Amino acid sequence: MIDLYYWTTPNGHKITIFLEEAGLKYNIIPINIGKGEQFKPDFLAVAPNNRIPAIVDHAPAGGGKPISVFESGAILVYLADKTGKFIGKDLRSRSETLEWLFWQMGGLGPMAGQNNHFSAYAPEKIPYAIDRYRNEVNRLFGVMNKRLADRGYLGGDYSIADMACYPWVLPWERQGQNIEDFPHLKRWLETIKARPAVVKAYEWTPKINPGAGGIRTAEERAILFGQTAKSIAEATAGKQ
Ligand SMILES: N[C@@H](CCC(=O)N[C@@H](CS)C(=O)NCC(=O)O)C(=O)O
């Protein structure tokens, strides 16, 4: 059994997609990041970065005590290695999967996150920041579109690289993009959207976070934005 510390956000969806695709048994532990549950000591013990997702594998390969993993990319690699699924098997194809996985982790995810922040959440609408990140996401969509022009998936066969990118492409409208400008990316998006495991992964959202749709209240904003080392230390102390 795998414990998944989860919230209904793109980085959370990556892992439910994998777990559903691989047919692994898992137990969801909701971490409501709008309520500050990411600062609870039990969670920080497995996820020192106070961000979801994280997992604890109670039956690691080779036995022994449970293994905890934080960072969605590390979790996907861990689970792919554990199951032998959704990652290239030989040196060349494994490297290809990892290349696109790390491309997501270092590029698409952070840029789309900032794009969302400055266009939807920043109290001050700063055109330079909005343009900067919307353009960068546009460029990255173009990179994927080109990559997908002559192949079905980003990193070889359907893999953890696709699972990592999909939740960030799905909200393309919110990202200020027009999917019609990226026909190969659109075909890839529709193909993945139709996968039964992906449908099941997204069914957690209404169950766990009914009315999900972003950060709504002043309290949520105060918890999520403007975190510093000091504010985290205070929030953590308050939870002990
Ligand atoms: N690089 C991290 C990013 C994780 C991340 O940003 N998680 C967000 C939700 S998508 C979170 O937990 N936010 C809580 C907070 O900002 O306090 C990963 O890929 O796991």
- Summarize pLDDT for 77-131 with one digit per residue, the tens: 999 999 999 999 999 999 999 999 999 999 999 999 999 999 999 999 999 999 9
**What pLDDT, on a 0 to 100 scale, did the predictor assign at position 222?**
86
Give dist(CA 141, CA 185) in Å, integer: 8
Q: Which of 6, 7, 11 to mutate to test the pocket of ligand 1 (most atoms within 8 A of CB)?
A: 11
- The tens digit of pLDDT for each residue in 153-211 reads 999 899 999 999 999 999 999 999 999 999 999 999 999 999 999 999 999 999 999 87
11 lines ligand 1 (CB under 6 A): yes
Residue of 163, 208, 192, 164 lying closest to 8 (CA atoms)? 208
Structure-block tokens of residue 117: 């922040």
DSSP 9-39: SHHHHHHHHHHHHHT--EEEEE--TTTTGGG
Residues 213-237: tens digit of each pLDDT: 666 788 888 889 888 999 888 888 8
CB distance 177 to ligand 1 below 6 Å: no
- Ligand 1 centroid to residue 53 C-alpha, Å: 7
- Does residue 224's CB lie within 6 angstroms of at least one atom of ligand 1? yes
Dist. CA 168 → ligand 1 center (Å): 13
Rounded Cα distance between 197 and 18, Å, is 8
Look up residue 118 and give its DSSP letter. I
By CB neighbour count within 10 A (0-12 exposed, 13-18 middle, 19+ buried), where does 207 fall? exposed
Report which protein residue has its CA nearest ligand 1's atom 11.
51
Q: Report whether residue 36 contacts ligand 1, using a CB cutoff of 6 Å.
A: no
Q: Which residues contact 190 (CB under 8 A, 6 or more apart)?
A: none
If one residue of 52, 166, 234 were mutated to test the ligand 1 pocket, choosing by the most ligand atoms within 8 A of its CB, it would be 52
The token pair that represents 26 in the structure block? 């898992």
